[in-house]
Structure 1
Amino acid sequence: MPKKIIGLVILAAMIAIVIIGAVKNNTSESDALNNMALGSDVDFLPTEEGLAKGEKAPDFQLTTLDGEVVTLSDYQGQKVILNFWATWCPPCRAEMPHMQNYFEEQAEEANVVILAVNLTTEDKGLKKIEDFVEEFELGFSIPMDDKGAVGSTYQAVSIPTSYMIDTKGRIQNKVVGPMDAPMMEQLVKEME
């Protein structure tokens, strides 16, 4: 009899975890929509947008770690690797040297911009982010998603998450997990 009770308690706990996760996820999406409606510092521009292959990537405006304002639509005419990351994420740490190598060796010739959006609301403070960028000597733009709205819009639940966006601003691929330079090269070629 006690084994049945323990089993039921464990089952109830697992169901509660699933329900809490689902409610939290819905709340995050609601918060992102409310931030957009309330005019947060992230501006989303109305277009025919979505996250499926071939759809226009949702536009946004963020401020980089260096204080520069970047708007995704300003890069139309160039290919964009839109990456979401945080300093505490081991796969992000593994990916960044590859991203920097790709940036240094191939990005300019391939007409590619890298926007590595830091999920600032999920990170451990500005100093940690600055130290991370310095450690890996990152030379590409680091937009700061300090409200969490862009990461939510792009469904960056598991990180790193990257979107490959073509010269017309349309999503061509989504990669969940770390990429290496050859993988980036291949994905960029597929956008041609």
Structure 2
Amino acid sequence: MAILVGLIGFGAYDKALAPTPFAEGTLDSRTVGLVEKNTAPDFTLTTLEGKSISLSELRGKKILLNFWATWCPPCRAEMPDMQKFYTKYKDAGIEIVAVNLTQTETSQTAVSSFIEKYNLSFIVPLDKNGDVASLFQAYTVPTSYLIDEHGVIVEKRIGPMSYGQLKQIVSK
């Protein structure tokens, strides 16, 4: 009997964790989730300048979705390469969305100073409560997702990426 109750409980737990499909008639009928070939969950965040940005409004471009923080040494190491990559490939339909884990920062001024120091010109939205990082299971920074033109996850990477790795991942 205990085994049966355990199996039923696991089945309910497993079903609760399963990715949910889009409702019929929406943008895509793929499953929304965090694994390759799933549609990336949509979110809306605000930049330091107060501009709202949604992942779905960038459809039609390849997106490198990166989660980072100013206090993270590997994040600091990859930012110059990300900016160099973005400068070269932004006109080729590639967008970088570097979500700052603002709830882990000492202040928004630290984020602003970081953006200025590294001359970052790509989109840097602020995840003030950590909701989007949690949604994308970005428990380690940097964490990056490559999302194709249709909003589908192509790859997830944990750790910093060099310029060469950025070129390689986006060629997929």
**Count of residues paired in the alignment:** 143
Query: Is 1:80–1:112's contact at 8 Å kept on the other side of the alignment?
Result: yes
* Larger Rg belongs to: 1
| 1:107 to partner: Cα distance | 2.7
Shift of 1:175: 0.7
SS at match of 2:154: strand
Partners in 2 of 1:48 and 1:122 — Cα distance? 31
SS at match of 2:144: strand
Q: Which amino acid aligns with 2:157?
A: V
- Aligned-residue identity in percent: 45
SS in 2 for 1:187: helix
Q: 1:35-79, CA deviations, whole angstroms, 9 ceiling, x for partnerless residues?
A: xxxxxxxxxxxx831000000000000001221110000111110
* Aligned twin of 1:65: 48
Question: What does 1:1-192 align with in structure 2 at a 5 Å threshold?
Answer: 48-109=31-92, 111-190=93-172
Cα displacement string for residues 144-192 of structure 1 (whole angstroms, at most 9, x for unaligned residues): 00111000010111100000000010000011000111111111111xx
Moved over 6 A (4+): none
Work out the CA distance in 2 between the residues paired with 1:99 and 1:59.
23
* Structure with a larger share of its residues in helix: 1
Amino acid at match of 2:165: M
1:115 and 1:66 mapped to 2: Cα distance?
A: 15
Separation in 2, partners of 1:163, 1:140 = 16
CA distance in 2, matches of 1:54, 1:171: 5
CA RMSD of aligned residues (A): 1.0
Question: Where does the alignment leave 5 or more consecutive residues of structure 2 unmatched?
Answer: 1-29
SS across alignment from 1:95: helix
2:115 and 2:62 map into 1 onto residues whose CA distance is 23
* Structure 1 unaligned residues grouped into runs of 5+: 1-46
